[in-house]
Amino acid sequence: MVVGEFTTEVDVLVIGAGPGGYVAAIRAAQLGKTVAVVEKAELGGVCLNVGCIPSKAMIHAAHTYEHTQHTASMGITMDNVRVDFAKVQEWKGGIVKQLTGGVASLFKGHKIQVIPGEALFVTENEVRVFHGYDVNRYRFEHCIIATGSRPIELPAFPFGKRVLSSTEALSLTELPKSLVIIGGGYIGIELGTVFAKFGTKVTILEGSDQILPGFEPDMPRLVERKLKKLGVEIKTKALAQGMEETENGVIVSAEVKGEQQKIEAEYILVTVGRRPNTDELGLREVGMNLTDRGLVVVDKQGRTNIPNVYAIGDIVAGPALAHKASYEAKVAAEAIAGKPSEVDYKAIPAVVFCDPEIASVGINEREAKEQGIDYIVGRFPFAANGRALSVNAGEGYVKLIADKESKLVLGAQIVGPEASNIIAEVGLAIEMGATLEDIELTIHAHPTLGEVTMEAAELALGHPIHVMK
């Protein structure tokens, strides 16, 4: 039985309240539009509830616990340090609640209506929203689809009691004794680091010849070295083939460099990528153009082939990153308001919160070569930075890439402490068209980790101060 179906009209209907959807809604409201947001789960989406935020909280907790094990060299001895994992989860949950509550407050302040349920397109300017037995129609002038993505499930490893996605892994009530992670990308490496630091025996199976395959080989090597110190077993060129459940866990069958192996563990964590949530919205039925992978085809303003409908975030081409979704959200909302905004992806930072952290922005050396650019490089080590040594984090480097003739900054790769924060300076440099001299002549506070960027610029220009040329 369907209870009452009513039609409501709104200027902008946003489908999804993640970091793309809620930003789009707020920006559209700021620009004078009446806005409603359809969300089937929680405000904040995957990122705030079961992704970016809770994972980074767990990472910080694991780092803190690990640091207590290695303070004797500084003259600080700690006894009987233990992990209360239930308390860790409670603390993590408090952070999530605070942030999602903040989104709710912002919605209230901007008079944004929240519609619980799932949307299905009926026409090019109307959707039906299903919530339990209730179904209502919403007619819109413009719509922004921001439904995000979900973990890919492998046929041989269906999610269940012993096979986890990142969502379930972040919600475990007890620390697993052992864990096999299928996929050595950023999610697998981040969560593998967390559990290894908390004492779990972790095995990582990665199909390519290195973990974090999207980064230059020198960067993951430092991460791999640290993981091995934590007792993590890394198997590259490894293909997970199947599993057998036992009384207390699973046995994973895998082909590793051409040899058959079996690995026992309490749980399996599958982190082989994410799939766009576009398959249950009725998009093809209303004539929207999608790729074979289910991604929505859009222009530089996020507009689909249906002129009043926009799409952003994980459901369009490009990396599935929360900050990319938020950026596209503002562009789409401004385009709806008649502003000449459009996307420019030359400075999207990519960050992995592993140990040490990894970050990149712009182009790397391989891409510079492929594009035929005559470039110069400045690579400065954290080992020559006073602040890095004083916080016991001297591993890694900052590498800047610049055009040889103009000295225009083209990209950076960072592996080391606070890489996730340091990369922002280079992102700004690329965005504003800065040169190596601009970075070199910017006075950086001393002693700080950020000085490494300045030193890398000096090195690229041929006159480093704190290392020999």
Domain residue ranges of the chain, discontinuous segments joined by + = 7-151+275-336, 163-272, 356-461
195 burial (CB, 10 Å; 0-12 / 13-18 / 19+) is buried
Q: Do the Cβ atoms of 444 and 451 come closer than 8 Å?
A: yes
Alpha carbon of 256 to those of 36, 252, 253, 262: distances in Å?
50, 12, 10, 10
> Hey, what are 347's tokens?
């400075």
Residue 213 preceded by cis peptide, ω within 30: no
- 3-class state of residue 379 by DSSP: strand
Q: Do the Cβ atoms of 123 and 129 come closer than 8 Å?
A: no
Q: Does domain 163-272 have CATH number 3.50.50.60?
A: yes
Positions annotated as catalytic residues are: 446
Closest by Cα among 101, 104, 102, 92 to 51: 92
- 3-class state of residue 21 by DSSP: helix
State residue 5's pLDDT score. Answer: 61
C-alpha 366 chain-centroid distance: 23
State residue 390's pLDDT score. Answer: 96
- 3-class state of residue 351 by DSSP: strand
Q: Do strands 267-270 and 163-164 pair parallel, antiparallel, or not at all (unpaired)?
A: parallel
- 146-166 b/e (C-beta count within 10 Å ≥ 16 → b): bbbbebeebeebeeeebbbbb
Phi, psi of 85 (to 5 degrees): -65, -35
- Specify binding-site residues for FAD: 56, 147-149, 314
- Specify binding-site residues: 56, 147-149, 183-190, 206, 273, 314
Cα atoms in the 13 Å half-sphere on the side-chain side of 183: 21
State residue 242's pLDDT score. Answer: 97
User: Does this chain's domain 7-151+275-336 share its CATH topology with 163-272?
Assistant: yes
Helix (H), strand (E) at residue 27: helix 21-30
174 burial (CB, 10 Å; 0-12 / 13-18 / 19+) is exposed
Domain 356-461 sits in which CATH superfamily? FAD/NAD-linked reductase, C-terminal dimerisation domain (3.30.390.30)
Cα atoms in the 13 Å half-sphere on the side-chain side of 394: 7
Closest by Cα among 420, 378, 425 to 399: 378
Alpha carbon distance 467, 469 (integer Å) = 6
Q: Do the Cβ atoms of 110 and 35 come closer than 8 Å?
A: yes
pTM for the model: 0.95
Q: Do the Cβ atoms of 426 and 412 come closer than 8 Å?
A: yes
Alpha carbon distance 1, 455 (integer Å) = 69
**Number of neighbours of residue 402 by Cβ within 10 angstroms:** 29
List the pLDDT tens digit at each of the 469 positions of the chain. Answer: 344 567 899 999 999 999 999 999 999 999 999 999 999 999 999 999 999 999 999 999 999 999 998 899 899 999 889 999 999 999 999 999 999 999 999 999 999 999 999 999 999 999 999 999 999 999 999 999 999 999 999 999 999 999 999 999 999 999 999 999 999 999 999 999 999 999 999 999 999 999 999 999 999 999 999 999 999 999 999 999 999 999 999 999 999 999 999 999 999 999 999 999 999 999 999 999 999 999 999 999 999 999 999 999 999 999 999 999 999 999 999 999 999 999 999 999 999 999 999 999 999 999 999 999 999 999 999 999 999 999 999 999 999 999 999 999 999 999 999 999 999 999 999 999 999 999 999 999 999 999 999 999 999 999 999 999 8
Alpha carbon distance 461, 441 (integer Å) = 12
| Cβ contacts of 47 within 8 Å, gap of 6 or more | 18, 19, 53, 322
Q: CATH number of the domain at 7-151+275-336, please?
A: 3.50.50.60
- 266-302 b/e (C-beta count within 10 Å ≥ 16 → b): bbbbbbbebbbbbeebbbeebebebeeeebbebeebb
Question: If you count them, how many residues does the chain have?
Answer: 469
- Specify binding-site residues for NAD(+): 183-190, 206, 273
State residue 1's pLDDT score. Answer: 38
Q: Do the Cβ atoms of 457 and 439 come closer than 8 Å?
A: yes
